[in-house]
Amino acid sequence: MIDKEVSIIGAGPSGISAALYLKRAGIPFLLFEKNIPGGKIAFTSYIDNYPGYKNRDGVELALQMQEQLAENEIEITFDSIENITKENERFLLKGNKETYLSKYILLATGTKEKRIGLQGEERFYGKGISYCALCDGALYKNKEVAVLGGGNSALEESLYLSSIVSKVYLIHRREEFRAEEELIKKVKQKENIVLYTSYQIEKLYGTKFLEGIEVVSSLKEEKEFLPISGLFVYIGFEPSFDIVSFPIETEDGYIKTDEDMETSVARFFAIGDVRKKRLRQIVTAVSDGAIAATKIGNLRNEEYKRER
């Protein structure tokens, strides 16, 4: 069993920020990642609202964050934490490779993609349905695809896809988009993005691979078949914390924290997209990580003073 004072679970922007702050404070910790460091930004094609970062490429930003960890001699522990329980005054983390014990937890596990809920949907994942335009967009070069959703992700990724594919059908269930005005303007200017607002997908067609979808308008009660070979789903996310095996206070399904990111469970912090907050962006994620790490530093100092 590996014993480390703090465990950060998830190496997205919030986890990486927490790691940098803990390192500077000289606090021993482990930073866990089960997949690719960088979190969602490693799968994002375009970033233009993170101050100081003018490059705009998500993968590049994820790589730069990783490089910054290396420069600060912070290693990532590549293990998937499957379960967290309470063991007296500590937390026991069961990973795929090892078991760990920590006094403080920083949960930075983010969110996972929501499913559409259509019949046969699972069958087409990786065979026409994708959650990642950046990863799979090139497979649909000069073909017709659809994007589902009306938030920042759907519009940003529609713009990205429009430079690869021949046509993007952007399908949104309401007339108004949820995305930022600037993005809406850009999307409307693109000739090969066709807007299907107030439309829902009703049916998926295809044998082995997706061959088309049936959409229905909620205004006209009309059905239409769109002969697409790719469907990119951007309908939001749900918080990912099923590894936590003890009761924890939530709000609207997300983990509730105080101003210092501490949850209803003492010494258990939630940072980034997994926690209840108004704005889920890189800028707020890195801020969460810094605040929580600083609070852990303060708690340790108080404890040290009490013990003297």
Q: Give the residues lining the site for ligand NAP (CB under 6 A).
A: 49, 116, 148-154, 156, 172-174, 178, 234-237, 280-281
Q: Is 252 a catalytic residue?
A: no
Nearest distance from residue 77's CB to ligand NAP, in Å? 27
Nearest distance from residue 176's CB to ligand NAP, in Å? 8
C-beta of 178 vs 295, nearer to ligand NAP: 178
Provide the terminal-to-terminal Cα distance of the chain, rounded to the nearest Å. 29
C-alpha to C-alpha distance for 128 and 61, rounded to whole angstroms = 28
Q: Let me know: does 91 contact 105? Beta carbons within 8 Å.
A: yes
Q: Is 136 a catalytic residue?
A: yes
Please state at what angle helix 181-189 crosses helix 152-162, rounded to 10 degrees.
30
Nearest distance from residue 201's CB to ligand NAP, in Å? 8
Residue with tokens 């501490």: 262
C-beta of 39 vs 95, nearer to ligand NAP: 39
Q: Let me know: does 256 contact 240? Beta carbons within 8 Å.
A: no
Nearest distance from residue 234's CB to ligand NAP, in Å? 5
C-beta of 5 vs 60, nearer to ligand NAP: 60
Please identify which of the residues 3, 57, 79, 132 carries the catalytic annotation.
132
Q: Is 79 a catalytic residue?
A: no
Please identify which of the residues 3, 48, 135, 258 carries the catalytic annotation.
135
Show the tokens assigned to 251: 């709000």
- Of all residues in the shown chain, the one whose CB is closest to ligand NAP is 151
Q: Which residues of 235-273 are buried (b: 16+ CB within 10 A; e: fewer)?
A: bebebebebbeeebebeeebbebeeebbbebebbbbbbb
C-beta of 39 vs 212, nearer to ligand NAP: 39
Enumerate the active-site residues.
Answer: 132, 135-136
